[in-house]
Amino acid sequence: MRRDAGLEAAVMKSPPLSFSVDSEYVINGIQMVVHSFDERTGQVRLRNPLSDAKVDFSASELALMRMNGRLSVAADTQVKHTPTRQPTLRRLSRDQSLCVARRAAYARASVHLYPVGPLSARLRTAIEEVAARINDSRPPSSHSVYRWVRRLVLSNYDTGVFLQDAGAIRQRKPRIELKAQELLRQQIEDLLGRTKHATLNGVMNEALAHVAKELGYHTFISKEGDEHPVEEFLARLPQQPAKPTSKGFSRVV
């Protein structure tokens, strides 16, 4: 009795729900609208605007679902993507256009299954049906389609997210030039092999200073984020012992 009373009190404290026709809800990630409401019995019939499937709930069941976090008002759902509607004046290539159409086809055919996971047999069946319909000899994995469906749902069912993905620049310019990377690798290998028990953390600043000098820089940024003059920093380092060379004489390294 105490449990029922507490549950009833929690339901009474929940914000009131609107049961007018076409009121929007999101239940377990699926968008639903109110199709009809029986004031005499308190029965609410919801309709999926995508598949036109209908399901009945009582008003108290919907209130409980809201208290449990399974139901939310569509207007309160945070949209993860809001299209700007501003043209980029950048034409998609043929491959990009085909990629957008392919993702949209799989996502639209599978969105009614959301939020089922990527291991769902129903999702796998939907993928196979789409692959047969569009003659896709290499259908995507269930995990890929699940990500596309999730992108579509979180964008409030706007396929513009696939256009956004197709136009994304995937080739990011490296932060360090290849020449500097190679010089740094060589310096680290040399310093680690020269001193017994040397560590990468211990030789990193010296390696950075040598690379900066090799590239013609007067200062360098240490691993701690401080800027140092190259020549002064190298001059403060302890001098290494003489090392025999292949020509038979010694030099200071």
Which tens digit of pLDDT belongs to each residue from 163-177?
776 655 454 555 667
Tally of CB atoms within 10 A around 100: 20
What is the DSSP pairing of strand 54-58 with strand 43-47?
antiparallel
One CATH from 3.30.870, 2.60.120, 2.30.30, 1.20.120 for 2-76: 2.30.30
Residue 209 has pLDDT above 70, yes or no: yes
pLDDT per position as a tens digit, 242-252? 444 444 444 44
- Using an 8 Å Cβ cutoff, are 71 and 27 in contact? yes
* 250 close to 243: Cβ distance less than 8 angstroms: yes
* Cα separations in angstroms, 73 against 43, 106, 130: 18, 27, 32
The stretch 8-36 carries a mean pLDDT of: 70
φ/ψ of 178, rounded to 5, equals: -60, -40
Q: Categorize the per-residue pLDDT at 52 as very low, low, confident or very high, splitting at 50, 70 and 90.
A: confident
- Please list the alpha-helical segments (H only) found in 44-177: 59-67, 94-110, 121-134, 142-154, 160-166
Phi, psi of 115 (to 5 degrees): -100, 40
For residue 114, give the nearest of 69, 162, 147 by alpha carbon: 147
Question: How confident is the model at residue 29, as a pLDDT?
Answer: 75
How is the chain split into domains, by residue range? 2-76, 94-166, 178-252
Q: How sure is the predictor about 130, in pLDDT bands with cuts at 50, 70 and 90?
A: very high
Buried/exposed 10-35: b ≥16 CB within 10 Å, e otherwise: eeeeeeebebeeebbbbbeebbbebb
